[in-house]
Structure 1
């Protein structure tokens, strides 16, 4: 089976597996959806790339049913910070990559003997200017430093 034929993989799955995979896709739990396909009992076990391609197709088909992404505006993030167990001493932006592309993570660094990061938000394949501006505005509102990558996006990671 190749990435060009996700419909063949879908047809080979039981209806129970299809229901479980679609439920994970709707909840935006891509990795759990891929795992559901891989552990469906099909022999030989479906290729990881085929599973990823099928999840992508199911996301397109179910797009109108996907759970909304969490809000990532400054007011919402400030409210999230307000319920943390301690006030953050800094905010950090981190690039991370996965099978579906680049992710920009915003974490709050909480004080303690070993500073612990707490994920506040993530943006995947976004226009990077907006998340960077949001992170800067939140750091200003909280009066904490913001560290991490600049405006060059993940391209700087690939070059290094």
Structure 2
């Protein structure tokens, strides 16, 4: 009889701990998946492909492969309210670098982004890539000519 009671108790413990309805008690931001490149014009698609190469060579070290950055060190580009609200400042930062405090998604960052020596075309490509990745969809295609006018 004792063996049966122990077996029933053990079975109840296993069943109660194996619930599929686990509660996510973390306060982490849930990032949407990457935007499909099939949804954009051929010109923008080509720019995004080139921009991904620039990103993977220069930006990925700080902003990470998933665009989430490093909390309190390097701001996220994925789902970034700063990027959405301050496109011009973001383009200038990519072209000319930046320093000083910025607030992204409610978190203050105060690190330095050195100028990367990118051409206007490379800046346009990498911004187009960022603007169309990790759930971002921040508007029209940026051109090298626009970067030249903005980044002065």
TM-score over 0.5 (shorter chain)? no
Compare the two structures and name the one with the higher strand fraction.
1
Q: TM-score normalised to the size of structure 1?
A: 0.31
TM-score (norm 2): 0.32
Bigger relative contact order, structure 1 or 2, given CA contacts below 8 A and separation 6+? 2
